[in-house]
Structure 1
Amino acid sequence: MSINRLTIQQVQRLISTRKGEVKIGERMQMLSSDNLASLEAFRKNGAKFCLLGIPECIGVLGNHGKPGAQNAWSAFLATFLNVQSNRFLSGNEFLVLGEIDVRELQEQAMNVDLGSDYFMQKMHVLCQHLDALVSPVIQSIVDAGLTPIVIGGGHNNAYPILKGVTEGLGLRNGVHCINLDAHADYRAMEGRHSGNGFSYAKNDGFLDKYFAFGLHQSYNGENMLKALDTAESVGCHFLEDIDYLDQDLAKALAFVYDDQVPCGIELDMDAIRMMPSSAISPTGFSLEQARQFVRRSAEALDVAYLHLPEAAPQNDLESKMVGKSLAYLVTDFVKAVNKKAQR
C-alpha cells in the first residue's frame, strides 16, 4: 500500500468551524481503510472526483530545480477543507484519498549531497521508483470510475498519471493532454525528471495528442522545440504569440479534442506569474486567466484527470497563496465538469 490516507482526526484539526456554515471538509468522503478495492463504493455513493497528493520534489531536483514542491499538498488541504459547502459545490462529489507515501524516497533525495558524484543520476533513479508508486494508484482510481485530481510534487508525475489513466481505461495509444505551462517538459529521455514526463509518456504509448499552451520563448531549448516540431500529434503556442486568450485557447482545445479519447488537463503552477514555484517568474498568466483555462478545458473536453504540479511554498504567506490558488483551480474544475453534465 503506497497511500497515507487522510484521517478524520487530521481533517478535524484543519477545519475552522463557524456557526451557521458547513465546510467541504465536513461533506467530502474519505477512506475508512487502506483497501483501494473499495473505491467503487464511493462512486456509487455520489463521489465523482478523487483527490490525491504527491508531497515530493525528487523530479524537480533531478531537473536542476529547487525544493519546495513537497509542501503544496498540505498547503492545499488547509484551504480546500475550509471552502464553503453551498449551492455551487456540496463537497460530497469528492473522495479525498490522501497522499502517495513518498517519505522514504523523499528523505533519500534530500539527503544526497548536491555536490556528490552522479547526483542527477541518483535523482533520476529515485524518480523512476516514484513513477512505480504513483501509476498503480491512478489506475485504481480510474478503474473505480472516478476522475483523479492530483496536487503537488513536480511535473515528473505527469508520466505515471498518463500511464495509470491509459491502463485504467484500456486505451491502445494513450490519452490526449493539454498543458498550461511555461515549459513543454518534452526534453530528452536522459533519465526521469520533471522536464521530460511528456516525452517519456509519448515514447511509451501513454500520450497520444499533446498541446503545450503558453510556453515562454526564452525558456525552451532549441532541441526540445525541434522535437515538438517533428511530432505530428504534438502542438504548442507561445505566451508571446497570444493576442486573444479565448480564441487561441479554443484552437488549442480543438487540437486535443476527440469524442473517443479523453484528455488530461495539466496546469504547471509556474505558468502563473509570481506563483511560488521552483521556476517562479515575473511574467505569465494571471490566476484569473489560469482559472479560465481550467474552466474552458473542463467544459470543452472529455476530461481524464486534472494535475496541478510545481507549486513550491516556503513560508506561511506563500503557503496561504498556494493553498488558496490550488483550491480555486480545483473547485473551478469540478464546477465546470458538473455544469457540463447537467446540460
Structure 2
Amino acid sequence: MKHLPQHLLPFTTSCIKKLVNLRAGETKVGQTSHVYNTELSLSQNLTEAVNNGARFAILGIGEDIGPRANLGRGGSTDAFESAMIQFLNLQSNRFFNGKKCLVLGQIKTEDLQLKEGASASDLRANVEYLDERVIEISRQIMAAGLEPIVIGGGHNNAYGLLMAAKQTYNKKIAAVNLDPHSDFRPREGRHSGNGFSYAAASGALGHYHILGMHELKNSEETLAQLSAFGGQWHTLQSIWIRREISLTSALDEIVTTLNNSLLPVALELDLDAITNMPSSASTASGIPLLDALHYVYTIAKNTPCTYLHLAEAAPSCHVAGIQAGYRETGQSISELIYAYIQGRNLAQQLS
C-alpha cells in the first residue's frame, strides 16, 4: 500500500535514477542517501532514516508566492531541483557519506501558486496556507530527531520553520540570518519580507541577529521595529567595505551571543546576500560565496543549530538563462549544504 503524505511530494528511488549519473568505480552521494519509501508513512520514513544513520533531512519548498506577495520578482521555484542535480552527483567518500541524509522531497505548493497579475492580498492569503504546511512537515522532521536542510522558496518560510522549532523544543528560537534585508518589515499580511517580525510577534523568535545587512535596503520603520525588538546586526558596509570589523570577529561575537542566549539556533541564509547569485533580489554588491560558506560552517560548528534554511535562489533569474542558473545555484547550494553538514558533524565529535 502506498503512503503519500497530503502536503509532500516525496523524493523516491525513481527520482534518484533520473538525477544521478552513475560511473564505474565511483559512489555518488545519491547512491548512499536515504529517500522516501512510499510503502511507509511519513513518520515511519523519518524513523527508519534515523535508525539507519541519517541526521539531516533535505526538504524543498518550490514557490515564489512569498516574494511576489512582497511586490518582488518571482522565480524561486526551482532551487531544490537545481541543488539535488549537483549535490546527489557529488562523491560519497571518506569525507562524507550520503547515508547521513534523507532526501525527503518538496512541500506541495502548486495549488497555492497564483498566475502573474494576482493581487497582493490573494498572494498573502496563500502564504498563510503555505505557513501551515511548512510548520506541519518541518515539525515532524524535528520531532523525529532530524535536522532539516530547507531549500528554495521565499524567505517567508522562515516563519514556519521558527514556529515548528518553537513547538518542537518548547522554547523560543535564536535566529541568525545572512541577508542584506532584515525581513522584519511591518506585519501587513504575510510575505517574504516579514517572516521574522511575524515570528517575533508570535513568540517564536527570542533573539535575532542579521549579518551583512545592507544599510540602505531596510526602511527606517523596519529598523525601528527591529531595534524595539532588541535585534542586532553587523552591516555589509561595516565588514566588507569600511572594514571596521573583520568577518572573523563578527562571527565570534555572534556565536558568543547565540550561546549566551541558551536557546536553540536557527541558521538562515538568503542567497541574494551572495554576489550576483540568481535570486529574486540579486545584487552586484554582495559577499563572496566563500564567506557565506564560512558563515554556515562556523555557526553550524559552534552553536546548537536546529536547521539550515537556504532561501530565495531563483535559477531562472540568471542573466545567461535558466541552464546557467541551474548550474550556479545548484553548485552553490550543494557547497552550502556540505559546509553545514561538516560543521554539525564536527560539533558532534567535539561534544
- Shorter-chain TM-score bucket reads over 0.9
Quote the residue 2:41 is aligned against: 35
What secondary structure sits across from 1:274 in the alignment?
coil
Equivalent AA in structure 2 for residue 3 of structure 1? L
2:6 is aligned with 1:4? no
Contact 2:13 2:36 in 1 (8 A): no
CA distance in structure 2 between the aligned counterparts of 1:300 and 1:121, rounded to whole angstroms: 41
Quote the residue 1:277 is aligned against: 279
Quote the residue 1:210 is aligned against: 208
Contact 1:69 1:311 in 2 (8 A): yes
Quote the residue 2:299 is aligned against: 297
Q: Which digits, 9 at most, give the CA deviation of each residue in 1:229-268, with x for residues without a partner? A: 1223x21111101121100121122222247421010010
CA distance in structure 1 between the aligned counterparts of 2:135 and 2:194, rounded to whole angstroms: 16
Equivalent position to 1:83, from 76, 90, 111:
90
Task: Using structure 1 for the length normalisation, give the TM-score.
Answer: 0.95
Quote the residue 1:96 is aligned against: 103
Please, which moves more after superposition, 242-251 or 288-297? 242-251
CA drift of 1:341 comes to 1.1
Equivalent position to 1:255, from 254, 257, 278:
257
Q: Which digits, 9 at most, give the CA deviation of each residue in 1:212-240, with x for residues without a partner? A: 110011111110011111223x2111110
CA drift of 1:74 comes to 0.9
Equivalent AA in structure 2 for residue 14 of structure 1? L
What secondary structure sits across from 2:96 in the alignment?
coil
Quote the residue 2:313 is aligned against: 311
Aligned residues: 333
Quote the residue 1:324 is aligned against: 331
Quote the residue 1:240 is aligned against: 237
Quote the residue 1:146 is aligned against: 146
Structure 1: unaligned runs, 5 residues or longer: none
Q: Which runs of 4+ in 1 moved over 4 A?
A: none
Q: Which digits, 9 at most, give the CA deviation of each residue in 1:263-301, with x for residues without a partner? A: 010010000010000111001110000000001111110
Quote the residue 2:229 is aligned against: 231
Contact 2:155 2:193 in 1 (8 A): yes
2:117 is aligned with 1:113? yes
CA drift of 1:37 comes to 1.6
CA drift of 1:113 comes to 2.1
Quote the residue 2:71 is aligned against: 64
Equivalent AA in structure 1 for residue 328 of structure 2? M
Please, which moves more after superposition, 251-260 or 201-210? 251-260
CA distance in structure 1 between the aligned counterparts of 2:298 and 2:70, rounded to whole angstroms: 31
CA distance in structure 2 between the aligned counterparts of 1:80 and 1:200, rounded to whole angstroms: 32
Contact 2:138 2:148 in 1 (8 A): yes
Structure 2: unaligned runs, 5 residues or longer: 1-5, 317-321
Equivalent AA in structure 1 for residue 235 of structure 2? F
Q: Which digits, 9 at most, give the CA deviation of each residue in 1:284-323, with x for residues without a partner? A: 1100000000011111100110000000011101110000
Please, which moves more after superposition, 88-97 or 241-250? 241-250
CA distance in structure 2 between the aligned counterparts of 1:76 and 1:161, rounded to whole angstroms: 20
Contact 1:184 1:220 in 2 (8 A): yes
CA distance in structure 2 between the aligned counterparts of 1:177 and 1:304, rounded to whole angstroms: 10
CA distance in structure 2 between the aligned counterparts of 1:8 and 1:62, rounded to whole angstroms: 35
Following superposition of structure 1 onto structure 2, how do residues 173-212 of structure 1 map, counting pairs within 5 Å?
A: 174-212=172-210
Contact 1:178 1:253 in 2 (8 A): no
Contact 2:182 2:218 in 1 (8 A): yes
CA distance in structure 1 between the aligned counterparts of 2:213 and 2:193, rounded to whole angstroms: 13
What secondary structure sits across from 1:280 in the alignment?
coil
Equivalent position to 1:287, from 283, 286, 289:
289
- The 1:4/1:251 distance shift into structure 2, 3 A limit, reads same
Q: Which digits, 9 at most, give the CA deviation of each residue in 1:172-217, with x for residues without a partner? A: xx21110000100000000000000000000001111110110011
Equivalent AA in structure 1 for residue 273 of structure 2? A
Quote the residue 1:54 is aligned against: 61
Quote the residue 1:136 is aligned against: 136
CA distance in structure 2 between the aligned counterparts of 1:277 and 1:92, rounded to whole angstroms: 30
- RMSD over equivalenced CA pairs, Å: 1.1
